A = this chain, B = another copy of it.
Amino acid sequence: MTAIEEMQVTTKKETQILEVAERLFATKGFEGASVREIARDADVSVSMISYYFGSKEKLMEAIVLKRLGLVKLRLEHLLEDFRLSSLQKMYAVVDSNVEDIIERQYFQKIMIREQCGKSSTTTARLIEDNRKDIGELMRKLISEGQRKGEFRGDVDITLLMMTLIGTTNYIMAAEKHYRVEHDMMHTGKQEFQKFVTLHVSNYIKDIFRHVLCD
């Protein structure tokens, strides 16, 4: 084992479990997906899940934790870029979110499902904390834009973000419907994603510009 391989904290089997679990939690829900099924699909024995993650619940937390960290990090870096105007930053946020939601569909579905449920689980708390952090960052961006006169003074940032996330989420949740309506029933996954990313990104940017600036 080389030094680099050693640095990878997650073993191969651990990664397999995480990937399969993400997919099954997304498509079947937390309770709907059984550890047996996860183990079978990940080609490991059932006991590996408890072995690596402690429990089914903790496995879920591991998935959420892994994804959420990256999102926040990227957003922070983006906002620090002083070469961009506030609107450009906002456009970058849109791009980043659209890409995320479209490329990480499984995880998005998990987020959606979690938001429907009661907020008493550890997972729910993780998500809520993340949302708070993201909200904070966005508020800063808006204030900056308003100070510079780029944005209107009476922007409801919460509503705007919810338009971005809600719309994109919904599109991916109802992917099939979207494909039917756009005559893309048999378009390959990559091509479809590329098209949607561009199409939706522009559509939402237009809305953002309208709400923020007009």
Contact = CB atoms under 8 A, between A and B. Distances in A.
Interface of A: 26-32, 109, 112-113, 115-119, 128, 131-132, 135, 156-159, 162-163, 165-171, 173-174, 176-178, 180-182, 199-200, 203, 206-207, 210-211, 214
Given A28-B117, A115-B173, A116-B173, A178 B162 contact: yes
Contact of A156 (B30, B132, B157, B203): B203
A115 to B, nearest CB: 4
B162 A167 contact: yes
A29 B27 contact: no
22 contacts: A26-B116, A28-B117, A29-B29, A29-B30, A29-B31, A30-B32, A31-B32, A32-B32, A32-B117, A112-B113, A158-B182, A159-B171, A159-B199, A162-B170, A162-B171, A162-B178, A166-B166, A166-B168, A166-B169, A166-B170, A207-B211, A210-B210
